[in-house]
């Protein structure tokens, strides 16, 4: 429940003329970088995971300042839904009317006040100083007033005021408390098999996990590096994937095997779904593998190494030339040069039908499985995003099956647990094709507990259960 009538603060309206911002001062580089990234995310749809490292590098921000900038940027974006509900109660009118340059200042301040150990007076004064530099004196005064109001309560007190009551609106409650759009809470609950009217305990654990910083996982590319090489550089052996190691701290790019292209950053579930494809027995030839959606090359890098060790060849196809370039980098110097990269639209294959023994279709998707690492994506996706992708996902899976020889195997993968793009797509394609049989995917990942869905027919990883992205896997045999 919000009570805006009590608010004494008036927000500057969007479009209102303001004095020009003064140029950036070198002071407080962490907050300045965080603000610039948040503003770029808000105003020009920038991606924080790409822009932040670039900005830190460009401005020479390192060490503790870089760590603070990262925490402030990612923390603010992850909890944006919660902060907006609180800020909405602290301005005199809808938060929507606050202009897009001021909004990131308010969110950044709310994050420091409600979710960090920064003392409140320091959080307010540093944020208002920043506001003075980036949006001018007038709007800094407004920010000061709003943040002082935010600082009057802690997070728990605010949530008791602004979140819908759990008893009457569990979904709405979870959406505000754990900072997700409402439709996404519903979609994730459905994917977990929980009914909207129920306790939603598993859904709540998932939503909470989305707000945690994900650990950094590395892959040692088969034939080029071993997990031991990563362990000797400070990583620790991973729980499930034989090629993975977790990096507890430090910059992965600074590790020698990573610099040399023999290892890379890759989520453990991404490794395991690619590995599962290579584990399914096939009768007869097993020499031609295809990755139909290869960019930027994470799975292709692993598959190229595995193909190299098994006298097989991988064709990695990617429709975007710049992403195909990244794939080329990822498979470079694989054992026996086992991979070739082509720029191609895989819905209109340039290769022969039934030419491949194993095919991976890692379909473009909403990415709801990687919300920990792409913090702004939860605010960008809509239910329509998934609807819009469905025809492409269906076409890619259909062409993947056409591209597989009888007896060969297809892995359909999404970095999303959202049912319309996981089981929805597989079921729709299966219904049209009598030449397809499901291979029980869970049988091919016996080392991972609690991943089986639909009696083991499909596999679904979860951040709160496995510490991985929420990857989905279906394995299909072409008859
Ligand atoms: C989920 S990403 C693949 C991730 C990749 N397999 C990895 O592990 O790094 C999907 C990729 O499919 C590409 N893509 C989209 N439509 C395509 C098409 N018609 N043909 C080939 N690639 C396509 C996108 O450009 C994007 O790079």
Predicted local confidence at residue 26, as pLDDT: 55
Q: The domain that contains 104 carries what CATH number?
A: 1.10.940.10
Ligand 1 centroid from CA 376, angstroms = 20
The answer to whether the annotation marks 345 as part of a ligand binding site is yes
Show the domain range for 250: 216-264
State whether 183 and 281 are in the same domain.
Answer: no
pLDDT at 36: 98
C-beta 301 within 6 A of ligand 1: no
- Listed residue (381, 365, 326) closest to 470, CA to CA: 365
> Atom 16 in ligand 1: which residue has the minimum CA distance?
319
**How close is the Cα of 252 to the center of ligand 1, in Å?**
24
**Ligand 1 pocket, residue 295 CB under 6 Å:** yes
Same domain, 113 and 11: yes
Q: Return the ∠ at Cα 374 (arms to 244 and 65), rounded to 5°.
A: 90
**Who's near 418: CB < 8 A, 6+ residues apart?**
187, 188, 191, 365, 366, 368, 386
Count of domains in the chain?
4
**Residues marked as catalytic:** 415
Q: Does some domain include residue 299?
A: no
What local confidence, expressed as pLDDT, does residue 27 receive? Answer: 84
Cα torsion for 211, 216, 221, 224, to the nearest 10°?
Answer: 170
The answer to whether position 305 is within a domain reads: no
**18 within some domain:** yes
Specify whether 453 is located in the same domain as 430. yes
Instruction: Give the position, in ligand 1's atom list, of the atom nearest the Cα of 274.
Output: 8
Name the closest-CA residue to atom 1, ligand 1: 364
> What is the distance in A from the centroid of ligand 1 to the CA of 115?
36
Instruction: Respond yes or no on whether the N-terminal peptide bond of residue 28 is cis (omega within 30° of 0).
Output: no
Task: Kindly state if the Cβ of 377 falls inside 6 Å of ligand 1.
Answer: no
* Ligand 1 site, residue 364, Cβ cutoff 6 A: yes
143 found inside a domain: yes
CATH number, residue 362: 3.40.50.150
Report whether 294 belongs to an annotated binding site: yes
Is 284 in the same domain as 248? no
Tell me whether residue 283 is in a domain: yes
Q: Are residues 124 and 247 in the same domain?
A: no
Q: Is residue 64 part of a domain?
A: yes
Statement to judge: residues 55 and 135 lie in one domain: yes
Measure Cα distances from 88 to 82, 96, 131, 272, 287 in Å. Answer: 10, 9, 19, 43, 59
* pLDDT given at position 335: 87
**142, 167: one domain:** no
pLDDT values of the chain reduced to their tens digit, one per residue, 479 residues: 333 333 434 444 544 444 444 444 458 999 999 999 999 999 999 999 999 999 999 999 999 999 999 999 999 999 999 999 999 999 988 899 999 999 999 999 999 999 999 999 999 999 999 999 999 999 999 999 999 999 999 999 999 999 999 999 999 999 999 999 999 999 999 999 999 889 999 999 999 999 999 999 999 999 999 999 999 999 999 999 999 999 999 889 999 999 999 999 999 999 999 999 999 999 999 999 999 999 999 999 999 999 999 999 999 999 999 999 999 999 998 888 999 999 999 999 999 999 999 999 999 999 999 999 999 999 999 999 999 999 999 999 999 999 999 999 999 999 999 999 999 999 999 999 999 999 999 999 999 999 999 999 999 999 999 999 999 999 999 99
Q: Is 329 within a domain?
A: no
Q: Are residues 229 and 190 in the same domain?
A: no
Asked if residue 206 and residue 105 are part of one domain, the reply reads no
Q: Give yes or no for a contact between 18 and 12, defined as CB atoms under 8 angstroms apart.
A: yes
Task: Say if residue 412 is in the same domain as residue 394.
Answer: yes
Run of H or E including 104: helix 103-115
pLDDT for the residue 2: 37
Instruction: For ligand 1, atom 17, name the residue with the nearest CA.
Output: 319
CA-CA-CA-CA torsion sign (244, 303, 330, 298): negative
Number of residues written out for the chain = 479
223 and 191 share one domain = no
| Nearest atom, ligand 1, residue 320 CA | 25
Distance 296 CA to ligand 1 centre (A): 8
Q: Answer whether 119's CB lies under 8 Å from 18's CB.
A: no
Q: Are residues 359 and 277 in the same domain?
A: yes
**Three-state secondary structure along 145-183?**
HHHHHHCCCCHHHHHHHHCCCCCCCHHHHHHHHCCCCHH
Task: Give a yes or no: residue 333 inside a domain.
Answer: no
């Amino acid at each position: 429940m919000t009570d805006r009538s009590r608010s004494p603060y008036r927000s500057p309206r969007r479009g209102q003329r303001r004095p020009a911002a003064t140029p950036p001062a070198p002071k407080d580089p962490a907050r300045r970088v965080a603000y610039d990234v948040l503003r770029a995310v808000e105003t020009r749809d920038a991606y924080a995971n790409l822009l932040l490292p670039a900005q830190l590098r460009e401005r020479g921000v390192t060490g503790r300042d870089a760590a603070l900038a990262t925490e402030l940027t990612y923390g603010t974006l992850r909890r944006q839904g919660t902060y907006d509900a609180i800020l909405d109660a602290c301005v005199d009118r809808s938060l929507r009317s606050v202009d897009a340059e001021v909004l990131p200042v308010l969110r950044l301040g709310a994050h420091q006040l409600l979710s960090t150990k920064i003392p409140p007076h320091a959080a307010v004064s540093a944020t208002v100083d920043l506001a003075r530099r980036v949006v001018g004196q007038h709007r800094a005064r407004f920010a000061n007033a709003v943040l002082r109001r935010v600082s009057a309560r802690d997070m728990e007190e605010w949530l008791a005021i602004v979140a819908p009551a759990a008893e009457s609106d569990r979904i709405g409650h979870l959406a505000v408390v754990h900072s997700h759009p409402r439709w996404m809470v519903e979609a994730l609950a459905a994917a977990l098999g929980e009914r909207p009217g129920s306790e939603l305990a598993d859904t709540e654990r998932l939503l909470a996990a989305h707000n945690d910083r994900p650990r950094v996982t590395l892959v040692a590319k088969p034939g080029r590096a071993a997990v031991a090489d990563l362990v000797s550089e400070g990583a620790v052996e991973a729980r499930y994937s034989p090629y993975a190691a977790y990096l507890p701290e430090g910059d992965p790019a600074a590790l020698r095997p990573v610099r040399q292209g023999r290892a890379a950053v890759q989520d453990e579930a991404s490794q395991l779904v690619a590995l599962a494809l290579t584990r399914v027995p096939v009768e007869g030839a097993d020499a031609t593998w295809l990755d139909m959606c290869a960019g930027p090359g994470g799975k292709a890098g692993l598959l190229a190494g595995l193909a190299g060790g098994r006298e097989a060849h991988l064709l990695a196809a990617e429709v975007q030339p710049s992403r195909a370039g990244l794939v080329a980098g990822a498979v470079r110097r694989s054992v026996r040069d086992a991979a070739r990269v082509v720029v191609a639209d895989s819905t209109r294959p340039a290769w022969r039908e039934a030419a491949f023994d194993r095919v991976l279709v890692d379909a473009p998707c909403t990415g709801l499985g990687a919300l920990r690492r792409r913090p702004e994506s939860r605010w960008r996706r809509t239910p329509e995003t998934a609807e819009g992708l469905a025809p492409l996902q269906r076409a890619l899976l259909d062409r993947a099956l056409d591209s597989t020889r009888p007896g060969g195997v297809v892995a359909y993968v999404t970095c999303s647990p959202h049912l319309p793009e996981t089981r929805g797509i597989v079921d729709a394609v299966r219904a049209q094709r009598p030449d397809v049989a499901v291979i029980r995917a869970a049988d091919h990942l016996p080392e991972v507990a609690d991943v089986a869905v639909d009696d083991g027919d499909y596999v679904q990883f979860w951040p709160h259960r496995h510490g991985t992205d929420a990857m989905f896997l279906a394995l299909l045999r072409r008859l």
